[in-house]
A and B are shown apart, each in its own frame.
Chain A
Amino acid sequence: MYRENVGRVTAFFSRRCREPQQVADLTSQTFVEAIKSAGTFEGRGSATAWLIAIARRVYAAHLADQAAGVNVIDRLGGRLVLADDEVEDLAARIDAQRDGRQLLERVAGLSSVERGAIELVDLLGLTPRDAAGVLGVSANVLRVRLFRAHQRLRKEHADDRL
């Protein structure tokens, strides 16, 4: 599961952070959280969806810490000391997420469910059902919101071309 998902989790944070160390720490923290709460996984959605839900919580806590002026490296797993090739690796991944970052910026005006649906389904490749589980809405609601989000993006794109 680690091998299948570490790229997705790293990409999730690479769309939000530009510092390799920060991406590394948040990715590490997500997996440490996952290890420590492995017993709570109920198997109702995919393991990927479960991990991304943890990543969203880790990022929210990270933002809360930042807002409080506290730079908590990791209450769980300690800071990763990165080798040069790891820093280069992560820098390349952050660069590779440029399009994803731009897409998230474009959808910033949408509702949180619509933004989440776009990222989870279109960028991360989750099924609508799994994405709905992550966002805490029904699968039907998610499909409707995703459809609307696509419509709005298409309209904005068409407007931009006029």
Chain B
Amino acid sequence: MTAFDDGLWARLVDQHQADRVALGPAPQRGSRRRLLVGVSGVAVASVAGVLAAVLSLAGGASTAFAGWTPQPTKPTAAQLATTKAYCASKVPWHGLPLKLVDARGPFTFIVYSDGTQNDFCTTGPAFQNASGWQTSSPMTVPAGQLFLWTDHVTADSGQPYGTMIAEAGADVTAVNVTLDNGDQVTATIENGWVAAWWPGAYHVASAQLTTPSGTRTQTFAPYPCDVHNCNGGPHGGAPGGGPGGG
């Protein structure tokens, strides 16, 4: 293992509990042995140890999202301070302007951006994470539209959850997201940024956008084409080089 290998492993353990992840579907009738993804520097775990780790993840999953709400809530001062403190130490770029705070019960999701560098982070009782991305130039989103930056399912808590981050046209005042399982989630919209997240491995199907002139529904290509350039066209497949998803 080289300096890079060791550094990456430490980060994977720190942020993604890599040393507790097992390969393979859930064991059936105890007949299937799982493989350990990571090998910790301390010791190679026994099969019993591996299974115990897997069970501990599964055990936490049932309550991982307790308190989550499909509508945003108002965060407490302490909740916000805790999330900001975590974000300040974990995000890729430090000191970016705060753009959005999305709270859902005890969970807080924050987006920071200066237009080209963008951070987001999440904290809650059962999990936390931080990440970011970078763009070549600031995005100007046409009126009445969303530009979807991410529509991602992750499993930091041991149970999957989906996240969407978008930027909105200046006239968009409210966003209701419909997932590909039909569930609806009210997104938070602040400073032109839109964010929502939800328990389960679901992706964004459409969004109902409220503007002064009424409401319209923006339908997105099925994931991953809603955020990736699947057809050689512009991001998200929107016509005319505009933002994706339309």
Contacts and interface: CB of A to CB of B under 8 A. Distances in A.
Most B-side CB within 10 Å, residue of A7, A35, A83 = A35
A108 interface: no
Nearest to B163: A75
B38 interface: yes
B204 to A, nearest CB: 14
Interface in B1-37: 1-5, 7-9, 11-12, 15-18, 21-26, 32, 35-37
Interface string B194-208: 000000000000000
B4 A24 contact: yes
A137 B108 CA distance: 45
Interface stretch (B95-103, B182-190, B224-232): B224-232
B152 A76 contact: yes
**B contact residues, range:** 35 or more
Interface string A88-100: 0110000000000
Contacts of A27: 8
A83 B4 CA distance: 8
A6 B21 contact: no
B3 A89 contact: yes
B132 interface: yes
Nearest to B17: A35
A70 B28 CA distance: 43
Contact of B11 (A65, A72, A80): A80
Interface of A: 1-3, 6-7, 10, 24, 27-28, 31-32, 34-36, 38-43, 47, 61, 64-65, 67-83, 85-86, 89-90
Interface of B: 1-5, 7-9, 11-12, 15-18, 21-26, 32, 35-39, 90-92, 130-136, 150, 152, 154-155, 224, 227-230, 232, 234-235
